[in-house]
Structure 1
Amino acid sequence: MPQLSNGVSVHPDCRHFRGDIPCRPNKEHGYQCANCPVYAPIEQRILIIKLGAIGDVIRTTPLLRRLRQEYPASKITWLTLTPAILPQGVIDEVLKLDLPAVLHLQQREFDILFNLDKDKEACALHDSIRATRKFGYTLHPQYGVAWPGNALADHKYLTGVFDELSLQNQKPYVQEIFELSGFDFRGEEYVFDTHEDKGYNWSALPTGRPRIGLNTGCGDRWTTRLWSDEKWETLISQLQAAGYAPVLLGGEAEAERNQRLQAATGAAYLGTFPLPQFINLMHQMDGIVTQVTMAMHISIALRKPTVLMNNIFNPYEFDLYGRGQLVQPDRQCVCFYRGSCKLGTSCMEDLPAQKVFEAVRASVAV
């Protein structure tokens, strides 16, 4: 055990040790390294680089379950752009991508490094941080583009750069991430915080009927996913008539639409909230209807029956873990991964409300 000049022993190899502030065992129980009963020596130092967006970070968390199983005495560090979305406790150290974090990581050594992003800054970090074993993406040394770090990354890399191969892919995203990291996927669930301990007051929510959250937006990048107000109104009426309680969900971009839908149908709409509170609001639902967007990832992470409305993405990409259904337009989509429709009118208008309603009824009993 290392000792300082005054003879005091310290354990810098302990998972609890912080180095700049007291560790939790010291803070809560007064333990010191020399006689600490919860000393937890680190056997593997693991770094995950997964920067964003939020949904991609959420759907990478199943990897944590396998890492804790395979390396129970490891210290896991995760570098991201959205640290607040990651669950506390399972990850030992969460770092936000900034200059101090980069300088810090470049002076450390890891046993295993996973770079799961093809962003150039993520690939550059993969190359500049010392690690015995590395998985994921690197920078091509001559051309400065993302490149597979080894053969395990080839499949996921190629489906990301050629539409034809992406269309042929039949592996869900989570399976691809596991295989890229050297594991077989065994159905590991997401690791996620419901924020139930925050004490949010949801007295305005309807009671006595199954609540079906309707996430009406899809972000501003892939607007080909949008469904019209008329379709939402029809679905809401069908749900209400069948004994469900529709609850409109969304952020600032969906506020105006949700207010219109509330006025037209009487569906519940509580407004917009910070992300942790929004997550907990979704946790109050019995089922979720959503397009491919952040709310979809949250719904899957919360283990809610999810009715996923999809048109422009490969349906094999999504794993609903046996909860809910994926529904698509009756007309085949010709705008794979396109933000605007080549035909002028999105095929989402060929997704009948009745089809979505039947999927809800099959997923959530009244």
Structure 2
Amino acid sequence: MHKEKVLIIKLGYSETLDGEIGKITSLGDVLRSTVLLPLYKDAQVTWLIDEISFPLLKGNPYIHRILSYDITSVLQLQSERFDTVINLEKVPGLCAFSDSLKAWRRYGFRFDPENGVALAYDGSQHVLEICMDPRHKKTTKKYWEEILFEMVGAKWQGEVCILGYKPKSPIRYDIGFNYDVGKKWPNKAWPMEYWKELERLIGNKYSISWQQGLKNIEDYFEWINSCHIIITNDSLGLHISNALNKKTIALYGPTLSSEIYIQYGTKLLPRVDYDCIPCLSPRCMQSKSCMNYIEPKMVYDAIENILK
């Protein structure tokens, strides 16, 4: 019996619902895209990645084959036949590569040979509109996962992303401080002095661990798994926490909180009347960032509500 062959192209060079294309791989966007995999649980799935993303997908039971994006993989895939190709990258070169593949069905983004830009297949045009028009993005009251499912003609039923790695660490800490936001979106960071103030507020009432695993992603998985609650900016750690079914307190300012589905936990937003929130920009134009208006006491109260 023929198993459906599916190719997913998601390297993280462009975020699915963001118009920006950069050189820093968005690991969070790659992990979030695994939410689609249960749709293809009976298929033979190949995933094309940037090599840095490999630990996020390694061991995933829904993925038959993981290929790094290089000339060898490109030539191999161009010689194969697929039933379905899902291209979640808006990089023009990747769109052109995706269009060159032999497939019966195509979802996501395609190449415009006249203008050399990314366009959308049927079902994904609204996603391209969300990417290119920040005002439209802010008024789209749908979860990211819901929109991704619509791109492939399916209905989201509350599925979450799937981490292939299976942590072995027991719960060691009540609370984990996931403070690092990486280089791509420095504007997402909660001020370090607020993290320290929160630590003072908590005192000896609960055990605290500051983020570990900054140099080794598998250590990072283990650290998140070792915490009962994760307090986090909008970052990769948030999505890993979700995948590991952790109680999560997510701190939002410049990015769109309504896009993010959190299984267990809560979202906290700035208490300030800035009309730019969310600005959807990696850098703040205000004299004082909106993230300064999520007071440590707000986070402490959220901890108490979860642990009471």
Q: TM-score, normalised by structure 1?
A: 0.75
Is 2:185 the counterpart of 1:222? Answer: yes
- Provide the residue aligned with 1:47 in structure 2: 7
Query: What CA deviation, in whole Å up to 9, does each residue of 1:214-255 have, x standing for no partner?
Result: 1112122322222222211121122235x211110056xxxx
* Aligned residue identity for 1:248: W
The residue number in structure 2 matching 1:76 is: 45
The structure-2 alpha-carbon separation of the partners of 1:342 and 1:273, relative to structure 1 and needing over 3 Å to count, comes to closer
CA distance in 1 between partners of 2:167 and 2:185 (Å): 31
Alignment map for 1:298-317 (pairs within 5 Å)? 298-317=240-259
Distance in 1 separating the partners of 2:298 and 2:39: 37
Match of 2:175 in 1: 212
Q: 222-231 or 99-108: which moved more?
A: 222-231
Report the count of equivalent residues: 290
In structure 2, distance between residues paired with 1:309 and 1:250: 19
Please give the alpha-carbon distance, in whole angstroms, between the structure 2 residues aligned to 1:99 and 1:332: 51
Q: Compute the displacement of 1:194 (Å).
A: 4.3
**2:86 is the counterpart of 1:122:** no
Matched, 1:64 2:6: no
Distance 1:109 1:332, change over 3 A: farther
**SS state of the match for residue 97, structure 2?**
helix
2:124 to 153, 173, 178: 153
Secondary structure in structure 1 of the residue aligned to 2:104:
strand
Q: How does 1:3-14 map to 2 (within 5 A)?
A: none
**Which aligned segments of 4 or more residues in structure 1 are displaced greater than 4 angstroms?**
none
Provide the C-alpha distance between the structure 2 equivalents of 1:250 and 1:343, rounded to a whole number of angstroms.
31
* SS of alignment partner, residue 94 of structure 1: strand
Q: Does residue 327 in structure 1 map to residue 268 in structure 2?
A: yes
Q: Are residue 180 (structure 1) and residue 121 (structure 2) matched?
A: no
Q: Are the aligned partners of 2:190 and 2:251 in contact in 1 as well (CA < 8 Å)? A: no
Of structures 1 and 2, the one scoring higher in RCO (CA 8 A, sep 6+) is 2
Whether contact under 8 Å (2:58, 2:165) holds in the other structure is no
Q: Distance in 2 between matches of 1:297 and 1:315?
A: 13
Distance 2:223 2:146 in 1: 29
Of residues 203, 209, 220 in structure 2, which corresponds to 1:247? 209
1:141 Cα shift?
A: 2.2
Give the Å deviation of 1:137: 0.3
The offset of 1:120, in angstroms, is 2.0
Corresponding residue SS for 1:111: strand
What is the letter of the counterpart of residue 45 of structure 1? K
Q: Deviation of residue 213 (structure 1)?
A: 0.7
Q: Distance in 1 between matches of 2:93 and 2:212?
A: 31
Mapping of residues 273-284 of structure 1, within 5 Å: 273-284=215-226
Q: RMSD value over aligned CA atoms?
A: 1.8
Contact 2:188 2:255 survives alignment (8 Å) = no
Q: 1:105 aligns with which of 59, 65, 77?
A: 77
Larger Rg belongs to: 1
Q: Give the 3 Å change call, closer, same or farther, for CA 301–247 of structure 1 in structure 2.
A: same
Cα distance change on mapping 1:101 and 1:283 into 2, 3 Å: same
Q: How far apart are the structure 1 equivalents of 2:45 and 2:148? A: 17
Deviations 1:311-337 (A, max 9, x none): 01121110002x110101101452611
Unaligned segments of structure 2, at least 5 residues: 13-25
Gaps of 5+ in 1: 1-40, 252-271
Identity %: 26
Q: Alignment partner for residue 290 of structure 2, among 337, 347, 355?
A: 347
